[in-house]
């Protein structure tokens, strides 16, 4: 496997994929680069894609009673904007690069197309997404941190 596929595999989203499946998914991903302080997406914007952090750090924040509330800071391997893969509801938070970042972007239409044409890959990614959302839900219930839902 190439170093890039290794990096994709290290993310919990794609951890269950075989090398061939990873290669197929990699063919659908778009590469983007962001500078420090650049906005990836805004709160309230219609979400179309999931972002997987390949390098750099990203801060997720949201406005709460007029104050900016930091929800999380993500490291390489982390992903955000995952709810956009499931529906086209508005983003719950703003994502901003804390340092120069490289990201792999998974467009929702490509994901839905993959679900239709390759059910095995679709099911593996969906399961990883469900686990990720479940984990956040457990954290939220356990720690009372409502911010996590914003991810």
Partner 1 sequence: MTGMMDSERSGPIVWSGIIAATCVLLLLLKQLLWLALPFIFGTVLYYVLLRPMQRMVRSGFSRNAAALWVCTVFFGLATLAMVLALNWSDGPEEDSWEATIGLYLDGGVAFVRNTMALLEAKFPILAEMRLTSTVNTAFAAYTNDFASNHLGEIVVGVVTWVPSLLLAPFLTFFLLRDGLRFKKFLARAVPNAYFERALYLLHEVDQTARRYFEGLLKLTVLDTVVLALGLWIIGVSSPLLLGLISAVLAWVPFVGSIAGCVLVVIVASTDAPATPLVAYGAIVVFVLVRLLDDFVFMPLTLGRSLHIHPLVTVIMIFVGGMLAGVVGLMLVLPLLGVVMVVGETLGRLVTNPRLRARHRYAKALRVRQASIDLDIARERRGAPTASTKPLKPLK
Binding site for partner 1 (CB under 8 A): 20, 24, 27-28, 30-32, 34-42, 45-49, 88, 105, 107-109, 117-118
CA atoms within 13 A on the CB side of 143: 11
Asked if residue 82 lies in contact with residue 54, where contact means CB atoms within 8 angstroms, the answer is no
User: Between 42 and 139, whose beta carbon lies closer to partner 1?
Assistant: 42
CB of 42 to partner 1, least distance (A): 7
CB of 7 to partner 1, least distance (A): 18
Residue 52 belongs to what H/E stretch? strand 49-55
How many angstroms separate the Cα of 119 from the Cα of each of 30, 37, 127?
A: 21, 38, 12
Radius of gyration (Cα) for the chain, nearest Å? 15
User: Between 2 and 88, whose beta carbon lies closer to partner 1?
Assistant: 88
CB of 27 to partner 1, least distance (A): 6
User: Between 46 and 139, whose beta carbon lies closer to partner 1?
Assistant: 46
DSSP state, residue 147? G
Q: Give the C-alpha separation, 80 to 149, whole Å.
A: 11
User: Between 84 and 151, whose beta carbon lies closer to partner 1?
Assistant: 84
User: Between 36 and 138, whose beta carbon lies closer to partner 1?
Assistant: 36
Q: Give the C-alpha separation, 130 to 12, whole Å.
A: 11
CB of 60 to partner 1, least distance (A): 16
CB of 132 to partner 1, least distance (A): 21
């Amino acid at each position: 496997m190439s170093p890039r596929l290794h990096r994709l595999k290290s993310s919990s989203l794609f951890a269950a994929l075989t090398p061939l499946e990873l290669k197929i998914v990699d063919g659908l991903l778009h590469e983007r680069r962001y500078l420090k302080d650049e906005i990836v997406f805004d709160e309230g914007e219609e979400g179309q894609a999931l972002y997987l952090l390949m390098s750099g750090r990203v801060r997720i924040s949201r406005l709460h009673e007029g104050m900016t509330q930091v929800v999380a800071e993500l490291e390489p391997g982390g992903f955000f904007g995952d709810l956009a893969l499931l529906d086209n509801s508005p983003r719950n938070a703003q994502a901003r690069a804390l340092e120069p970042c490289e990201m792999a972007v998974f467009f929702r239409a490509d994901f839905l197309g993959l679900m239709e044409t390759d059910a095995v890959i679709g099911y593996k990614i969906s399961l990883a997404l469900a686990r990720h959302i479940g984990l956040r839900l457990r954290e939220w219930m356990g720690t009372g941190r409502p911010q996590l839902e914003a991810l």
